[in-house]
Chain A
Amino acid sequence: MWLPYSHHVPAAFLPRSGGAITGILLIALVHLSGCDRPTPTSARVVRVWCHQGQEAENHAMRDIAAAFNSAYAAEGVRAEIVFFPDFQYTEKIAIAAAARDLPDTFDLDGPLVARLVDAGVLQAIDRWFTAAEQADFLPSILEQGTINGHLFALGSFDSAMVLYYDRAMLAQAGVTPPPNDSGWTWGEFIDACRRLKAAGLEPVAMHLDESADEWYTYAFSPIIWSGGGDLIAPDQRRVQGVLASQQNVRSLDAWQAVFREKYASTDPVDPNPFDHDKVAMDWSGHWMARPHLAHKGEKLGAMPLPGFGTNPSAPCGSWCWGMARTARDPEAAALWLKWVTDSRNGVEPIVRANGAVPARRSAFAAFPEYERPPYNLFKRQLETNAHPRPQTPGYAALTRGFAAALRDIAHGAEVPTRLQMTEKEIQAVIDRRPASTTIAEAPR
């Protein structure tokens, strides 16, 4: 997951001018002192790093750790959890890895698993989870954490994205929503936008004010997939000829039209115009389900994202837990991983706090809302047509390049040339990194 709203980022965490230089100097400095420290052997302490989410999420995480510690007090296993602001969390993990100061287990964003496996930072965790236990996880969670046939990460929750709509506004414009959980084709979506605009309403919010690059890759990759294209070849090393393919140009041309026709704002200021009744539809994620239900009540509707033809596609992926290769006590660290992804002890409390989609089938029983929309839609998408984002070691460059291209395309850049430019840039970064021995054909 990324930051739902950019304005929550405290200015103090933003890098300042010269930050890169200082950063490099710091890495160099920290590396000097990065020798392995002797550790007390009496207590089996598991060092845990966790990104800092919303306040409720942090409280839940602390409670989960406290429960873990009392459950394993007899064995002498104790988790020491440290929170870090999630802005640039990835950079913090990178610096810790550079300084050989990684914790035993930590959470990370799903698309980064491949890179950390490639760099030898993570160790496989399949041996700690039986086949039956693994089968209880949603397929999207297993796919996200599986690299080259081995499981490296498991999450306690997943994410989903839908098109929310205001029934009253749609009715006002004479637009009929699709029947029972089915989605619109792209043509139907555009037609609805046209009618909403004609009725004097702003049709849809696409949240291009989102400052995180990840928003673009997460929210709009489904358009690429549903158009029959992809972001990267299955070998996870080639974007040339894939990203700027005919299909992708067609799909993004269609996406661009939404902004050209002024169906969605290219530079919105309000991060939540849907709940302020300023737009009729909201291209958004599971994290808005609670606020939307609270504001709209019975008026709220949700459908799968509109797509092209035969491939309805949804995104997925979120924070997940991995174990550092350098973990001092893998057995104790595995106890933590099992605890935090356990239906009752980990999944339930954290999902109650953050409203994400439970990662385990056995956990859904505790959440009756998954019988009803929009929640049932989240679950069904993750069970059937959710794609993880590319599992390439070059993901950071890929997502930066893709987001930059989409920003320009939304503002009118010519689609094929802009995609070709991005393709070249990303390919150059991937080609500079020696081909990995750990990641060959990542399973899809």
Chain B
Amino acid sequence: MTAWKKSYARAAPWFLLPALILLSLFVVWPLVRASLWSFTNADLLNPAQKQWVGAGNYGGLLADAQFRQAFGNTALFALLVVPIQVTLAFVLALWVNRPEPAWRWLRVVFFVPTVVSMPVLAVLWTILYQPAQRTEMGLINVALTTVGLPTRAWLHDPHWALPALAFMSLWQGVGLQMMIFLAGLQGVPAELHEASRIDGANAFQRVVHVIIPALRNTIVFVVTVTTILAFRLFVQPYLMTHGGPANRTRSLIQSIYETTFLGQELGRACAAAILFLAWVGLLTLLQRYFSREDRA
């Protein structure tokens, strides 16, 4: 080993130390603590007095109809949101990927909802979705009546509440994915576009055979991130439907939150959080698997 390499090896730990200390203190230790609690019946109000219950919390959660429903709701939400949001974001990105200032404005317009705080949007959309009543009606129902369609109590209809939340979330989130796609699009080499044009490819063929293959890693990234974000659904059901009607919109995170702070069952809530972490970890591994294949 040369001298500089040796000194490099000596110095490295010192440079890593601050980050490692902070990470261990704020991420690793709480995580270890939470996973230890997940095997106990710890009470949030009195975590010191706890009994070891083994995998009891995990078994209980997996057998709990409510927890399973929360997972099912969240998965359904992800299924509704992810394909549409990614496709829409991609189409929007293709559309606004032009240099003229007018398009820059359009980009801003699509991006604005992602910047506004979700609780504010939740309140606004609750009013938009308001069902028809004696004197008042939400704008969405007004629009439907204008074109001759029946009105609905969107947030209180067992079949429509989750799609209504999905629609609102899609509108809110699509701008962010659009921006990522835009960045990806601008990284596609101009030569590829030119070459395909010279070869006589039309717009559709250019998208399918040039842009999509060039954006493969971006697409995988966007799909994964959107999926993870979709699984972290919380504010919308918490504020707009309170998980109702009949638990149809109760999300996984909401269920963890309620177990922690309402039920105050710290052990069980930690187990639920660990299960959630494992699930998100699995999704991330899948993403790495797919994107690595592309690099090979």
Q: Which residues of A contact B (CB under 8 A)?
A: 7, 11, 14-21, 23-29, 31-32, 88, 90-91, 94-95, 97-98, 100, 115-116, 119-121, 202, 211, 213, 262, 265-269, 278, 396-397, 400, 403-404, 407-408, 411-413, 418, 421, 425, 428-429, 432-434
Interface-side segment among B77-85, B186-194, B216-224, B242-250: B242-250
Q: By the criterion CB–CB under 8 Å, are A116 and B253 in contact?
A: no
Min distance, Cβ B229 to any Cβ of chain A, angstroms: 8
**Contacts A21-B253, A21-B256, A408-B246 given: A28-B46 contact, CB under 8 Å?**
no
- Output the nearest chain B residue to A398 by Cβ-Cβ distance: B262
Min distance, Cβ A24 to any Cβ of chain B, angstroms: 5
- Output the nearest chain B residue to A201 by Cβ-Cβ distance: B134
Q: By the criterion CB–CB under 8 Å, are B243 and A24 in contact?
A: no
- Output the nearest chain B residue to A88 by Cβ-Cβ distance: B261
How far is B33's CA from A391's CA once the two chains are assembled, in angstroms? 32
Q: By the criterion CB–CB under 8 Å, are B46 and A24 in contact?
A: no
Q: Which residues of B contact A434 (CB under 8 A)?
A: 41
Q: Which residues of A contact B268 (CB under 8 A)?
A: 432
Q: By the criterion CB–CB under 8 Å, are A17 and B234 in contact?
A: yes
- Output the nearest chain B residue to A92 by Cβ-Cβ distance: B261
Q: By the criterion CB–CB under 8 Å, are A27 and B235 in contact?
A: no
**Contacts A16-B235, A98-B47 given: A21-B276 contact, CB under 8 Å?**
yes
13 contacts between A and B (CB under 8 A): A14-B119, A16-B235, A24-B256, A115-B45, A121-B45, A265-B133, A265-B134, A267-B133, A400-B262, A404-B243, A408-B244, A425-B66, A432-B263
Q: By the criterion CB–CB under 8 Å, are A91 and B242 in contact?
A: no
Q: By the criterion CB–CB under 8 Å, are A28 and B257 in contact?
A: no
Q: Which residues of B contact A428 (CB under 8 A)?
A: 64, 66
**Contacts A94-B261, A97-B46 given: A262-B29 contact, CB under 8 Å?**
no
Q: By the criterion CB–CB under 8 Å, are B134 and A20 in contact?
A: no
Q: By the criterion CB–CB under 8 Å, are A97 and B118 in contact?
A: no
Partner of A28, one of B34, B134, B246: B34
Q: By the criterion CB–CB under 8 Å, are B153 and A23 in contact?
A: no
Q: Does B227 contact A (CB under 8 A)?
A: no
Min distance, Cβ A209 to any Cβ of chain B, angstroms: 9
Q: Does B166 contact A (CB under 8 A)?
A: no
Q: By the criterion CB–CB under 8 Å, are A32 and B239 in contact?
A: no
Q: By the criterion CB–CB under 8 Å, are A18 and B234 in contact?
A: yes
Q: Does B273 contact A (CB under 8 A)?
A: yes
Q: By the criterion CB–CB under 8 Å, are B135 and A14 in contact?
A: no
- Output the nearest chain A residue to B250 by Cβ-Cβ distance: A404
How far is B37's CA from A19's CA once the two chains are assembled, in angstroms? 18
Q: By the criterion CB–CB under 8 Å, are A433 and B265 in contact?
A: yes
Q: Which residues of B contact A396 (CB under 8 A)?
A: 261-264
Q: By the criterion CB–CB under 8 Å, are B266 and A27 in contact?
A: yes
Q: Which residues of B contact A11 (CB under 8 A)?
A: 117, 119-120
Min distance, Cβ A101 to any Cβ of chain B, angstroms: 12
Q: Does B165 contact A (CB under 8 A)?
A: no
Chain B, residues 24-43, CB within 8 Å of chain A (1/0): the string is 01110111011001000101
Q: Which residues of A contact B60 (CB under 8 A)?
A: 432
Q: By the criterion CB–CB under 8 Å, are B239 and A14 in contact?
A: yes
Q: By the criterion CB–CB under 8 Å, are B118 and A116 in contact?
A: no
**Contacts A11-B117, A97-B46, A119-B46 given: A407-B235 contact, CB under 8 Å?**
no
Q: By the criterion CB–CB under 8 Å, are B34 and A25 in contact?
A: yes
Chain B, residues 49-74, CB within 8 Å of chain A (1/0): the string is 00000000000100010100000000
Q: Which residues of B contact A88 (CB under 8 A)?
A: 261
Q: By the criterion CB–CB under 8 Å, are A116 and B153 in contact?
A: no
Q: By the criterion CB–CB under 8 Å, are A119 and B45 in contact?
A: yes
- Output the nearest chain B residue to A93 by Cβ-Cβ distance: B45
How far is B290's CA from A119's CA once the two chains are assembled, in angstroms? 49
B contact patch SS = helix
Min distance, Cβ B47 to any Cβ of chain A, angstroms: 5
- Output the nearest chain A residue to B268 by Cβ-Cβ distance: A432
Given contacts A115-B45, A413-B245, 20 further A-B contacts (CB under 8 A): A17-B118, A17-B235, A20-B260, A21-B276, A24-B256, A25-B27, A28-B34, A32-B33, A94-B45, A94-B261, A97-B44, A98-B266, A119-B43, A121-B45, A121-B46, A265-B134, A266-B156, A268-B133, A428-B64, A428-B66
Q: Which residues of A contact B239 (CB under 8 A)?
A: 14, 211
Partner of A432, one of B229, B245, B265: B265
5 nearest A-B pairs in the assembled complex, by CB-CB distance: A119-B45, A20-B257, A28-B33, A28-B30, A411-B156
Min distance, Cβ B251 to any Cβ of chain A, angstroms: 9
Q: By the criterion CB–CB under 8 Å, are B276 and A17 in contact?
A: no
Q: Which residues of B contact A29 (CB under 8 A)?
A: 25-26, 29-30, 33
Q: By the criterion CB–CB under 8 Å, are B242 and A404 in contact?
A: yes
Q: From B44, B123, B127, B136, name the one whose CB has the most chain A CB atoms within 10 angstroms.
A: B44
Partner of B242, one of A20, A95, A213, A429: A213
How far is B46's CA from A396's CA once the two chains are assembled, in angstroms? 16
How far is B117's CA from A262's CA once the two chains are assembled, in angstroms? 34
How far is B239's CA from A407's CA once the two chains are assembled, in angstroms? 13
Q: By the criterion CB–CB under 8 Å, are B30 and A262 in contact?
A: no
- Output the nearest chain A residue to B233 by Cβ-Cβ distance: A17
Q: Which residues of A contact B134 (CB under 8 A)?
A: 202, 262, 265
Q: By the criterion CB–CB under 8 Å, are A24 and B34 in contact?
A: yes
Partner of A15, one of B30, B64, B235, B247: B235
Q: By the criterion CB–CB under 8 Å, are B235 and A408 in contact?
A: no
Q: Which residues of A contact B229 (CB under 8 A)?
A: 17
- Output the nearest chain B residue to A432 by Cβ-Cβ distance: B265
Min distance, Cβ A161 to any Cβ of chain B, angstroms: 22
Q: Does B90 contact A (CB under 8 A)?
A: no
Q: From A15, A17, A120, A121, name the one whose CB has the most chain B CB atoms within 10 angstroms.
A: A17
Q: By the criterion CB–CB under 8 Å, are B234 and A16 in contact?
A: yes
Q: By the criterion CB–CB under 8 Å, are A19 and B246 in contact?
A: no
Partner of B131, one of A14, A267, A278, A433: A267
Q: By the criterion CB–CB under 8 Å, are A98 and B136 in contact?
A: no
Q: Does B162 contact A (CB under 8 A)?
A: no
How far is B118's CA from A411's CA once the two chains are assembled, in angstroms? 25
How far is B256's CA from A20's CA once the two chains are assembled, in angstroms? 6
Q: Which residues of A contact B256 (CB under 8 A)?
A: 20-21, 24
Q: Does B130 contact A (CB under 8 A)?
A: yes
Q: By the criterion CB–CB under 8 Å, are B234 and A20 in contact?
A: yes
**Contacts A18-B232, A25-B31, A396-B264 given: A408-B131 contact, CB under 8 Å?**
no
Q: From A11, A23, A432, name the one whose CB has the most chain B CB atoms within 10 angstroms.
A: A432
Q: Which residues of B contact A31 (CB under 8 A)?
A: 33, 47
Q: Which residues of A contact B89 (CB under 8 A)?
A: none
Q: Which residues of A contact B119 (CB under 8 A)?
A: 11, 14, 16
Q: By the criterion CB–CB under 8 Å, are A25 and B246 in contact?
A: no
